[in-house]
Amino acid sequence: MLPASEIRRRGNRRRATRRTVGVLGACALLAVGGFGIVQATGRQEPGWATPQPVTPTPSISSTASPSAPTSPDPGPTQTPDVTSKPTPTPTDAPGETVKAPTFDNMPTPDQLFIYGDLPGAVKDEFEGQGQSSPSICLSEIPGEPSTILTREMGIEGDEWPTLYVATIFGYDDKAQATAAFDSLRQQSLDCGERLDAQGWRDSRAHESTDEVPFTPPANAPDARFANVLAAGLPAGDASLELGQWVDVVIIQTDSRVLFLSQAFEGQDYNCSLSPDDGDGAQCPALKAADAMAERLAG
């Protein structure tokens, strides 16, 4: 007779596989008993910074509102090595006027915190590279942006940590932004290797771009979009069944690139890629992709 834990695992596997089966392999086994996100990891502290305590964050499930925070044992410390690059003085491309992005071009909490009764809020925002990477998937600054803006968002209230980190890279011309988009996409696809390097195991990264509906804004008809989900299993006691998840959305409009990272430790991530899936609510960042592109291009 199968133990109760295995019966529970098999019974809940279908619900978890909306984003994982055939994609992340072993990572699909992270789903158990309806639990969602256990703790957000927010910005990733580099080796030269002192890691901040991680506070549990609510569940983001396609079938339930955010749950009360729990207090599991923390997973491996996230300390990616980010290669710093100097930010050049903003200049216009020859023969073309480039308008630098501002915080008005950033995603907003009301675009991302759309399920449940707990409102989102801006936790912090600043110009420049900052002291830590906006994502464990980001190992280096793409190219030489003339503008870097970062906004951190989470559930309203000091007891809730950062869940989404949005970074806009502004460039002197479209060609540089196109190269940056390609770099960010490749770094995200390599995120499994970075997760393993941080102490997780059997990590995977999968691109879902073609499965997500995306409509470019009218004033940026050639806008580009990419979505990559990475996940890794705990290196220690697998019975804890907590994994590291990183969901990345990348959007380019002309000379600007948005990199949005959602990172958390949890047991599953049950949302759909498309609103037509019929098997649960669409993931918030994917549902907001068109609106975020419009703000980025504005």
Where do the domains of the chain lie? 4-297
Q: Mean pLDDT in the chain? A: 76
Decide: 27 and 246 in contact? Cβ < 8 Å.
no
SS3 label, residue 156: coil
Look at residue 20 in the predicted model and tell me its pLDDT: 42
Pair 69, 57: CB distance under 8 Å: yes
* Angle at CA of residue 183, ends 180 and 186, nearest 5°: 150
If one compares 32 and 178, the residue with the highest pLDDT of the two is: 178
pLDDT of residue 283: 95
Least confident of 72-76, 111-115, 291-295: 72-76
Report whether 235 contacts 200 (CB < 8 A). yes
If you ran DSSP here, which 8-state letter would residue 99 be given? P
Q: Using an 8 Å Cβ cutoff, are 68 and 157 in contact?
A: no
Write the CA distances from 232 to 19, 163, 202, integer angstroms.
14, 18, 6
Q: What is the mean pLDDT of residues 13-21?
A: 36
Binned at pLDDT 50, 70 and 90, residue 267 comes out as confident
pLDDT digits (tens, 9 = 90+) for 28-51: 433 322 223 334 555 554 332 333
Is the model's pLDDT at 242 over the cut of 70? Answer: yes
Sign of CA dihedral 24, 183, 247, 253: negative
What is the structure's pLDDT at 96?
A: 60
Structure tokens at 156: 């309203």
Mean pLDDT of 100-126: 96
The whole-number average pLDDT for the span 105-120 is: 95
Given a contact cutoff of 8 angstroms between Cβ atoms, the answer to whether 123 and 149 are in contact is no
For residues 167-172, average pLDDT: 98
Q: What is the pLDDT of residue 278?
A: 65
Whether 80 has a pLDDT exceeding 60, the answer reads: no
Question: Which of 47-56, 124-133, 150-159 is least confident?
Answer: 47-56
The residue with greater pLDDT, 199 or 121, is: 121
pTM across the whole model: 0.73
Percent of the chain with pLDDT over 70: 65
CA neighbor of 103 nearest in space, from 172, 153, 40: 153
Structure tokens at 177: 């932004």
